[in-house]
């Protein structure tokens, strides 16, 4: 049996619908044998945006040690999240983001901008390569920017050389959300009816923070996404284990020789 570990990351500033969606996908992934999962939330965390220290004496993250990947900003929670993401035993990610102003929310952008330090520190630009990635976007209303948010996450995953998977079609029916799972918390994408047949729920209320449970299409997409990430991670891991180094440009994980320059030949 091929065993894999998936990390779910909810990049929402609060505990609520994005966390539910990510955990729904992780729970579905665990239905496959040999799948272990871990979950991390940015709610309550402080992750500042990258300060782009280029030109101020060079990147301060250049050559930074693995236990302190971004020394320029040492007093927030980025280090904790980054070190979870780069651990070698992680085979795939399920990442959820809120939708704000037709794009992925600020918390996701801050995390993504800080992860640029991996291009310069001792982890190296290949730190996340060859892992599997699935994206989830949760907005207030259908067609409110979920596609843009998913595209932003998928583009970032491609830039880090991860394998991106979508929800895949539901056998016998179109499930939608082909580049990732998407959902709405105020109006059903499937029926167009306001959840519970009333006006949008009060922001911050218990009902509003769990409103995604009413979006059955989103939950099905999350289930499919979880299984797709898990099964693809198994295939990738098993495939690399059966190939000799001579059959590959370089093995899974960091490039063994040549470093950054080799990657840009």
Residue 38 confidence (pLDDT) above 90? yes
Residues 63-80 have pLDDT tens digits of 888 899 888 888 899 999
What pLDDT, on the 0 to 100 scale, is given for residue 172?
Answer: 56
Residue 197 confidence (pLDDT) above 80? no
In contact, 51 and 73? CB cutoff 8 Å:
yes
Strands 132-139 and 4-11, by their bridges, are unpaired
Q: Select the highest-mean-pLDDT range: 114-123, 172-181, 209-218.
A: 114-123
Q: What is the mean pLDDT of the chain?
A: 83
Mean pLDDT computed over 251-264? 48
pTM, rounded to two decimals:
0.85
DSSP characters over 190-225: TT-PBGGGSSPPPTTSHHHHTGGGG-HHHHHHHHHH
Other beta carbons less than 10 A from residue 46's beta carbon: 11
What pLDDT, on the 0 to 100 scale, is given for residue 245?
Answer: 76
């Amino acid at each position: 049996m091929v065993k894999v570990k998936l990390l779910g990351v909810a990049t929402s500033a609060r505990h609520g619908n994005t966390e539910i969606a990510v955990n729904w996908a992780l729970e579905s992934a665990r239905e496959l044998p040999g799948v272990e999962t871990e979950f991390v939330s940015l709610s309550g965390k402080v992750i500042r945006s990258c300060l782009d220290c280029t030109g101020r004496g060079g990147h301060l993250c250049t050559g930074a040690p693995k236990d302190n990947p971004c020394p320029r900003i040492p007093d927030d929670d980025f280090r904790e999240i980054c070190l979870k993401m780069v651990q070698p035993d992680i085979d795939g990610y399920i990442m959820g983001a809120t939708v704000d102003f037709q794009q992925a929310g600020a918390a996701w952008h801050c995390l993504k901008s800080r992860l640029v330090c991996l291009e310069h520190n001792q982890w190296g630009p290949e730190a996340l390569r060859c892992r599997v990635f699935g994206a989830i976007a949760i907005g207030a209303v259908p067609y409110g920017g979920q596609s843009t948010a998913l595209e932003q996450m998928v583009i970032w995953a491609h830039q880090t050389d991860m394998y991106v998977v979508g929800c895949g079609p539901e056998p016998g029916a179109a499930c939608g959300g082909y580049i990732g799972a998407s959902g709405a918390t105020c109006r059903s994408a499937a029926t167009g009816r306001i959840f519970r047949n009333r006006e949008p729920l009060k922001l911050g209320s218990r009902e509003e923070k769990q409103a995604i449970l009413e979006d059955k299409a989103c939950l099905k997409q999350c289930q499919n996404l979880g299984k797709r990430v898990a099964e693809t991670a198994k295939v990738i891991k098993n495939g690399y284990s059966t190939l000799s180094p001579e059959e590959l440009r370089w093995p899974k994980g960091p490039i063994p020789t040549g470093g950054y320059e080799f990657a840009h030949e």
